[in-house]
Amino acid sequence: MTQLLCSLERVKMNLPKASIEDDRIIAALLAAVSQAIRDWCRRSFTLQSHDEWYDGVQDERLILRHSPVLAIDFVRHSPQVVLEVINTDAANQQARAAIHKNGIELIRVTNGILHHDNSITFEANPTVQSISNAIGTLSGGWSARVIGEYGNWPAIELHSSTFASEQIYSQGPFDCRQRYGGFSMHVGELTGYRWDARGWLWREAGWVGGSGHWRVRYSAGYVQIPESVVEACAQWTSMLFEQTRRDPALAALAVSGAVSQSWLQPGALSPPSAVAALLAPYRRYVIG
């Protein structure tokens, strides 16, 4: 569900003639505008917890995807395989394993019949070792093993996502038919760095590494949405509401002996110039 950038009451301050019967359409427009502003500015605005992977860079700064930053929970590095899964049943023509936000998903195909199992959850199996043990109890040829001394590490750290409600990063699916599929975890804990609320980490030694070498869990966003963003959201929503009362593509109408009309071209509706001016200071141009 889209988090609104202003309230219905605030929008109706810009629409003094709107009635309670208009609330449904205003609310729908408000949700759409809130998401459109996020997309245009390339930021979420609301305070969120983020858990993200970053590639190594040849720079002293590691640019984060969200700002302003309020806190850094941890910075980790050096992903290593800590759990391997295999399916050894020769009757299976396919066998795959993948991480999802609740646990591990196991899929096998036997004689054209799909068998799907996602009962191995992080909630019921909090450690890597308990995940491995639970996979071993399944029928159909499944087994698993822990690699290294990571059996007591939190199994949920096999998964990470930008928002708690969304799955952004996943591992797999790996082909596990008669072979091991390996799930990795960032096992190195970094200290001695600094962070800037404007949206980056700083380290004199730099941030070299391969693909997905760094993992950062942090909190970013505004505790209170800036007033200019609230005003932009209210203005844009009220403009769209007014357009529902006429041809939304009509740009001008003049009557001087004859009717003269013009229409907006496709793509000219977002964002209006007044709204863009309010949002311009918050628009991000560096995307990770």
123 lies in the same domain as 147: yes
Does some domain include residue 288? no
151 lies in the same domain as 235: no
Give the number of domains in the chain. 2
User: 148-170 pLDDT, tens per residue?
Assistant: 999 999 998 888 654 444 445 56
User: 231-246 pLDDT, tens per residue?
Assistant: 999 999 999 999 887 6
Q: What is the pLDDT of residue 165?
A: 43
133 lies in the same domain as 228: no
215 lies in the same domain as 76: yes
Does some domain include residue 29? yes
17 lies in the same domain as 154: no
Of the three residues 170, 193, 220, the one that is the final residue of a domain is 220
87 lies in the same domain as 194: yes
Of the three residues 187, 220, 253, the one that is the final residue of a domain is 220
25 lies in the same domain as 160: no
| Structural domain that includes position 266 | 8-45+223-282
DSSP secondary structure of the chain: -PPPSS-HHHHHHT-TT--GGGHHHHHHHHHHHHHHHHHHHTS--B-EEEEEEE--BSSSEEE-SS-SEEEEEEEEEEEEEEEEEEE--TT-SEEEEEEETTEEEEEEEETTEEEEEEEEETTT--BHHHHHHHHHT-SSSEEEEE-SS-TTSBGGGG-B-SSTTS--B----EE-BTS-EEEEEEEEEP-S-EEETTTEEE-TT-B--STT-EEEEEEESBSS--HHHHHHHHHHHHHHHHHTTS-TTEEEEEESSSEEEEEPPTTTTSS-HHHHHHHGGG------
This prediction's pTM: 0.77
214 lies in the same domain as 233: no
